[in-house]
Structure 1
Amino acid sequence: MAQNLYGPGVRIGNWNEDVYLEEELMKDFLEKRDKGKLLIQRRRRLKQNLLRPVMLVNPDDPDTEADVFLGGDLSLCMTPDEIQSHLRDELEVPCGLSAVQAKTPIGRNTFIILSVHGDATGQVLRYGQDFCLGITGGFDNKMLYLSSDHRTLLKSSKRSWLQEVYLTDEVSHMNCWQAAIPDPQLRLEYEGFPVPANAKILINHCHTNRGLAAHRHLFLSTYFGKEAEVVAHTYLDSHRVEKPRNHWMLVTGNPRDASSTMLDLPKPPAEDTRAMEQAMGLDTQ
């Protein structure tokens, strides 16, 4: 084939248009690369800004409803489609979620806190700060992100028909969440303070302003058995306070035992205040 020695100056019509289009595409690519806006660069920043692995646990509540079928502490777990799990060896996305009675850190319930904007490298998570929750589920080559979107006629949770929560490999604003303190009267005062581990918090979806919730009274038939449904919906009581369904804990691992968490450690004994009462003359016995 003869080499084309003609430049854009002597081309007409579609030939000249194609040349300028390629130049514009290259210019746009270089501009996004310099500003760090390429998708591969965003993914790399997310993976480089790992904070620490955690389990998301919906703590047991003694005053919970009587019709629940799962009690105790429930951990948020990856739940692959039952049919696809038999047909394929790789993980299918989007992937579902559920809550199960599992305190032991395993591949399907261990999440990683990720910085959204890349400005929190090496820093603790704070109330009101955007963050992502990623999980690999044992598949080292694929990071999935906890996501949600508005409910539609074609897309909703399986049992309650509320806003669906799922895992996806797409990086977008649908991955962003924020933590808040359960007490609404202290919520503004705690804005910007570090989020404590192993303590009750709220996890709210930034785009839809819905809280992550566990439905202990609705079960899903999954590949692993009957598990509780997880949705994005805010449940308020008569005092406009979030119910225990919206309470979660970022449970960290036990540094002395990799197979357990901080919830497995024995609780310290209650403080004996009798000696103090005697010193203050308050002991009546």
Structure 2
Amino acid sequence: MARNAYHSGVRVGNWYENRLREEELKMSMERCRTAERHFQGLSAALLEEGEVSVCPDGLLHFGDSVIVHAPVVTPRRGQVTEYASNFHSFPSPAGTSRPSIPCTLAVTPNRQALIKNSYIDSPITASPDHHKPVIKNVFTIVPRDSHTPTSSILCYGDPFDLVHVTSGGERLYVTSPVGSALHSSRMSRRQEVLLQEGSSAHSAWRLVPSQPELRLTLQDQPAEVGARVWLVQTMTNQPLVVEEEFVTNTIFGTEHEVSVGMVTRATTKAASTLALLTWTRDETQTRRRREEEEEEEERRRRDEEEEEDLKRQRMKELEEEEERRRRRLHRINAIMTTAHAEINQ
């Protein structure tokens, strides 16, 4: 008599293909999780504290590491409500009802460039979030002439390169190719500003006072830290501007577009006044004092935690001692009860 050869352990259908598909799905999910962890680590590395130079004399020098600050940026009406919850806005100097928001120029790579750890062609944007020195917003002033000493004073009109040093140590130059169909900002259609390898005619910049009446007076004079200036491209004689009407969504949030072009009544509104900031001696002392206060507070907090731990340990020892004494009394009472019972018998 024939017996049924099939039972619950028999594999039917495309079982081998299904197993391969499940294994491939697991491997794909693991690769996605690894890439996401790698991306989070790289993006966090860009927000680590950056080092800026100390200028005790209050003047800019070749070789100084600076942050480029746009003190007055007036966004569109629809963007004011978006920034209101995150930033403290200031009244517009022009007397308008729209508030102004300070921004800081920074390198903003996209997700693909960040994962590949390649920042070439990464755009420069204006971030209203990060005003403290971090890796993504620190730039170095480099002389274009090899005969110029690194520590010499930077004067108005002197050509220089702005170099950004990535977290991996790569030196990239802030460049603005002449506007064309391939090299123009996506929304403003002005010259785009991005990072490129090596120095070129498109990466040469110079400082010009923002007030026209002071330009002849301050020509070839030392540039001060924090002075209101225009960052002008020497090849096109056009200033670097922060687009007030055009924002872009990046991996670090909403940031303003940065371009090169003259601002006139016929063009869209843009902020061209910038300030190059470093640490002065007073700021350095204040920062050192703040760090010492933070260390003292951390030491005090650690001492308090150790004292609390000692108190808890002492209380635990007292409780254990009380428990041992209670058990010892209980045993003595039990022995005495037994002894009385034996005597009565």
Q: Same fold by TM-score, threshold 0.5 exceeded?
A: yes
Aligned match for 1:98, one of 102, 109, 125: 125
Q: Which consecutive unaligned segments of at least 5 residues does structure 2 have?
A: 1-60, 84-99, 291-345
Corresponding residue of 2:9 = none
Cα RMSD between the aligned structures?
2.4
Deviation per residue, 1:26-61 (Å, 9 max, x gap): xxxxxxxxxxxxxxxxxxxxxxx9521100000026
5 Å-filtered alignment, 1:1-285, equals: 51-60=63-72, 64=74, 66-67=76-77, 68-69=79-80, 71-85=100-114, 87-88=115-116, 90-101=117-128, 102-121=130-149, 122-140=151-169, 142-236=170-264, 245-253=271-279, 254-256=283-285, 257=287
Q: Which amino acid aligns with 2:142?
A: L
When normalised by structure 1's length, the TM-score is 0.65
Q: 1: distance between equivalents of 2:244 and 2:134? A: 21
Larger strand share, 1 or 2: 1
Contact 1:78–1:137 at 8 Å: present in 2 too?
Answer: no
Aligned residues: 203
Aligned-partner SS, 1:108: helix
Q: 1: distance between equivalents of 2:265 and 2:212? A: 12
Q: Which has the larger radius of gyration?
A: 2
Contact 1:149–1:208 at 8 Å: present in 2 too?
Answer: no
Contact 2:238–2:261 at 8 Å: present in 1 too?
Answer: yes
Contact 1:81–1:223 at 8 Å: present in 2 too?
Answer: yes
Deviation >4 Å, runs of 4+: 68-71
Deviation per residue, 1:167-220 (Å, 9 max, x gap): 111221211001001121221221100111112101100111110000132111
Larger helix share, 1 or 2: 2
Change (3 A) 1:255 1:120: farther
Corresponding residue of 1:28 = none
Q: 2: distance between equivalents of 1:228 and 1:65? A: 9
Q: 2: distance between equivalents of 1:147 and 1:193? A: 25
Q: 2: distance between equivalents of 1:212 and 1:139? A: 27
Q: Which amino acid aligns with 2:255?
A: E
Aligned-partner SS, 1:211: strand
Deviation at residue 84 of structure 1 after TM alignment: 2.8
Contact 2:126–2:256 at 8 Å: present in 1 too?
Answer: yes
Contact 1:111–1:134 at 8 Å: present in 2 too?
Answer: yes
Q: 2: distance between equivalents of 1:114 and 1:165? A: 18
Same amino acid, percent of matched pairs: 23
Contact 2:246–2:257 at 8 Å: present in 1 too?
Answer: yes
When normalised by structure 2's length, the TM-score is 0.55
Deviation at residue 82 of structure 1 after TM alignment: 2.5
Aligned-partner SS, 1:51: coil
Q: 2: distance between equivalents of 1:230 and 1:244? A: 9
